[in-house]
Amino acid sequence: MANPASKKFRAIIVGGGVAGLVASHTFSKAGIEHIVLERGSEAAPPTGASIAIYPHGARILQQLGILEQTKAIADPLEDGATNRWPDGSPVQWSDLWRYVRENHGTELMLLERRGYLEVLWQNLPDKSKVLFNKKVANIVENDDGVEVFLSDGTSEKGDIVVGADGVHSTVREKMWERANRLEPGIIDVKEKKGFGPGEPQMKNELSVVYNKGHSFLLGTQPRRCFYFVFQRVKEPWTRYNRPRYTQEDAEKMAADVADMSVSDTMVFGELWQKRWRGAVVDIEEGVLNRWFYGRTVLVGDTAHKITPNMALGGNSGMESVVVLTNLLHRTLASTSPSKPSHDALTQAFQAYQDQRLPRMRHIMKFSRLITRTQAWDNWFLKMVSIWVLPYLPERKLANDLGEIIRKAPMLDFVPLGDWDEGLMEWEDMKQEKKPKRNGAVGMERRPAQIVPASLLG
């Protein structure tokens, strides 16, 4: 049975992963009525490996009031980053994470994805807004709102749908169907072919092992080790013909690389034997050209998927949620007490896409280059990894990352609070002179208010 239509603006968030739960937090901060529909049966399932929280992600968590809870289950990387030859011997070492901390005032945190989801879930302002075992069957939209029909026979009504259901998104599929039915050709065929592939004795570091056609990535900590084996697929595929992998596939892939070195003292087989869990998953990449249509808007991996070698995917998803929340918060404030019109929502969604699209294309290209260099994808990148990267200034990668980090958004209606300054200034922070009581001039730091012209007037 459908819930009754509400006179208050209501968002339906589909997907209860990182992007969906962060959206519940930010929408709560913005006073946006919402519901989260998760197809799974629990908030923090034992799937996925690790997630890295960069300083720009930490700023968002600080605004949400859950940074300290996240730090409590994370181990900061303290022993730098090491690039290794195929035999495991080091070719280059950098004190990368110290430079990140110096540049931005806080360290990079590496933690289990399941643990991070648990923090997001346990600290939600209202857990009743998250419904489990809710699989989307259909989405019906009209000028007045939207209704999401679920496989259990129920439905939810609202004003917009936020697709946070990941790279194999049902919401995106339904959005494409409606767009091409009403405006044939508006979703280019190329868009639909996107998102294809393109231990205690170890240090607390991030380590990369080069090899031809594949690479190892290890985030080692005193209590655990997160590891990835990247292999190039033999043939490109799309979302419609992607392969399905079994545990037997994982065992075979692990056996193929079991004797290969992951450090100067250990081979991969030793890690695999001690695993808690392991699986073969697709590493998709792609950034859509269109992130919304009608009353449906996409966030996180649903709109942009990048390779994980630089661990920027989770942070990017949080960024998208934040930008969308900022724009909806402003739009709702400008139309209160009435609901925003269809045109007002379109303007907000267009501004969201315009802000996020160039940045995500840049981040995807950056991550793609790192991934292919580490796997020696061609002779040129192999030469770069051997003869160029080791001789670059030691802070080069940290500063390149810094340009990405410092340009990241945060909520523009929630104070940041105390934050240690770094060497690189955040782009969205402006210093305003504020007279003190004694007549001296003080400085106040606050988020810059970036208002799209399409919402003014």
pLDDT in tens, 360-402: 999 999 988 888 888 787 888 888 888 888 888 989 989 999 9
* pLDDT score for 193: 57
Confidence bin at 239 (pLDDT 50/70/90): low
For residue range 42-56, list pLDDT tens digits in order.
999 887 778 889 999
For residue range 146-170, list pLDDT tens digits in order.
999 999 999 999 999 999 999 889 9
Residue 287 has which token pair? 């950034």
CA–chain centroid gap for 394, Å, is: 27
The percent of residues in the chain predicted with pLDDT above 70, rounded, is: 83
Least trusted range by pLDDT, from 133-142, 337-346, 353-362, 381-390 = 381-390
* pLDDT score for 12: 98
Q: Are 29 and 411 in contact (CB under 8 A)?
A: yes
Q: Starting at the earlier edge strand, list the strands of the sheet with 136-142.
A: 136-142, 145-150, 155-158
CA–chain centroid gap for 220, Å, is: 21
Pairing state between β 304-305 and 206-209: unpaired
pLDDT at 413 over 60: yes
Q: Are 2 and 157 in contact (CB under 8 A)?
A: yes
- For 179-214, the DSSP string reads HHHHSTTSS-HHHHT-SB---TTS-SSEEEE--SSE
Please, what's the b/e burial string for 199-215 (b: 16 or more CB within 10 A of its CB; e: otherwise)?
beebbbbbbbbbbeebb
Whole-model pTM: value is: 0.79
Q: Are 158 and 11 in contact (CB under 8 A)?
A: yes
pLDDT at 434 over 60: no
Residue 74 has which token pair? 């994370």
